[in-house]
């Protein structure tokens, strides 16, 4: 059946593409072979579905009633200028980066979208050749089960609902998606809260469900995904800590900081560095990771946090030692 259906849809496309003016539905039914043997009702259903499929592929089918002979019957046409890919001329370097980009997606349906984009470019005379850049392999993963339904929802503007990790049911008008540190986030209008919200896909606990037809809302024209995504990055540092670093250790902190000095006498082999940080909690976490290679001299507040954290970790050994002895 599939080849027959493909034939019918392709013939429909050609019929609307070559006519130059609106073709009434009755004329389409006569002209396109796959519609001949269908009952009235079956023709209506099939024709509607075929149009939907073509539109989903991005084929611009216009509706109008300009033909005086068929004036109460809708007519359809495809304008070649709207249908055709505009000329695109890529030099060898540009074609080569496009060839690399073609292999980026490690996700079946995204990879399929990329391949069909590449097929169109090839049909337009571009020859993407990644071999010039064989040693570059960017890749994008999307392993979250919610990725695909939400991606389709973003493209087609479909309102979606899902359960978030806190157990709450959310209804969202998805505007866009962004990936940071390999994790996907969806941004949109939370319908119940009437506010812009961002959700991490790995924290969605069920498969997002459709709550509307396509085209249910408008995406704000001034949507700036990159600045919304920047909210995911750590805030810019505003405070400074004076740290003693063991020589040669904690390179991450050392490189971010600058050499400093301190009044106190340091453990031997330590050097003072001044390092900027933005928030006590994340600074304490980073510093604790280095264990005995970093000593916080100032501020006292940060030192207290670090000492508290280290005390908790030291206690875990004491507990297991005790339970081991019992």
What's the order of all strands across the beta sheet hosting 75-77?
23-24, 75-77, 62-64
Which residue, 237 or 309, has its beta carbon nearer to another protein? 309
CB 158 within 8 A of CB 216: yes
**Least distance between another protein and beta carbon 19 (Å):** 8
What token pair was written down for 100?
Answer: 């690399």
Give SS3 for 176. Answer: strand
Q: How far is the CB of 72 from another protein (least distance, A)?
A: 23
CB 294 → another protein: shortest distance, Å? Answer: 8
Residue with smaller CB distance to another protein, 39 or 311: 311
Supply the minimum distance, in Å, between the C-beta of residue 160 and another protein: 15
- In the complex with another protein, the residue whose CB is nearer, 139 or 238, is 139
What is the nearest approach in angstroms of another protein to the Cβ of residue 255? 6
69 vs 221, beta carbon nearer another protein: 221
Q: Residue 171 CB, nearest distance to another protein (Å)? A: 19
Burial 194-211 (b: 16+ CB within 10 A, else e): eeeebbbbeebeeebeeb
Residue 22 or 290 with smaller CB distance to another protein: 290
Cα dihedral across residues 38, 39, 42, 44: positive or negative: positive
Q: CA-CA distance, 308 to 299, in Å (whole number)? A: 14
Reading phi first (left if > 0) and then psi (alpha if -120 to 50, else beta), residue 151 is in alpha
| Cβ-contact 196, 189 below 8 angstroms | yes
Residue 278 Cβ vs another protein, minimum distance, rounded to whole Å: 16
Dihedral in degrees, nearest 10, Cα atoms 274, 279, 285, 286: -40
State the sign of the Cα–Cα–Cα–Cα dihedral 176, 178, 184, 186: negative
DSSP 6-43: HHHHHHHHHHHHHHSSPEEHHHHHHHSGGGTT--HHHH
Query: Minimum distance between the CB of residue 99 and another protein, rounded to whole angstroms?
Result: 10
């Amino acid at each position: 059946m599939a080849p027959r259906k493909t034939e019918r849809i392709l013939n429909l496309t050609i019929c609307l593409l070559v006519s130059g003016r609106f073709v009434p539905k009755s004329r389409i039914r006569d002209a396109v072979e796959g519609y001949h043997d269908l009952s009235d009702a079956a023709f209506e259903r099939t024709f509607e579905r075929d149009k939907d499929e073509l539109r989903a592929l991005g084929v611009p089918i216009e509706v109008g009633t300009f033909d005086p002979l068929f004036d109460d019957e809708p007519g359809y046409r495809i304008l070649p200028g709207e249908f055709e890919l505009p000329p695109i001329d890529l030099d060898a370097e540009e074609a080569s980066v496009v060839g690399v980009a073609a292999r980026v997606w490690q996700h079946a349906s995204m990879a399929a979208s990329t391949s069909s984009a590449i097929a169109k470019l090839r049909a337009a005379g571009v020859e993407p050749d990644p071999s010039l850049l064989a040693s570059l392999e960017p890749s994008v993963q999307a392993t979250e089960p919610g990725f695909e339904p939400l991606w389709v929802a973003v493209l087609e503007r479909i309102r979606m609902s899902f359960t978030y990790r806190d157990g709450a049911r959310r209804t969202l008008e998805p505007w866009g998606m962004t990936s940071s540190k390999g994790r996907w986030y969806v941004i949109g209008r939370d319908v119940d809260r009437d506010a812009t919200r961002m959700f991490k896909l790995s924290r969605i606990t069920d498969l997002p469900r459709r709550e509307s037809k396509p085209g249910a809302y408008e995406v704000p024209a001034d949507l700036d995904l990159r600045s919304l995504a920047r909210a995911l990055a750590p805030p810019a540092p505003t405070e400074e800590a004076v740290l003693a670093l063991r020589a040669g250790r904690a390179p991450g902190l050392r490189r971010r900081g600058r050499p400093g000095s301190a009044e106190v006498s340091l453990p031997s082999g330590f050097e003072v560095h001044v390092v900027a940080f933005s928030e006590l909690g994340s600074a304490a976490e980073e510093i604790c990771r280095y264990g005995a290679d970093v000593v916080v001299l100032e501020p006292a507040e940060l030192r207290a946090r670090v000492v508290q954290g280290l005390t908790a970790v030291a206690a875990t050994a004491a507990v297991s030692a005790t339970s081991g002895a019992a």
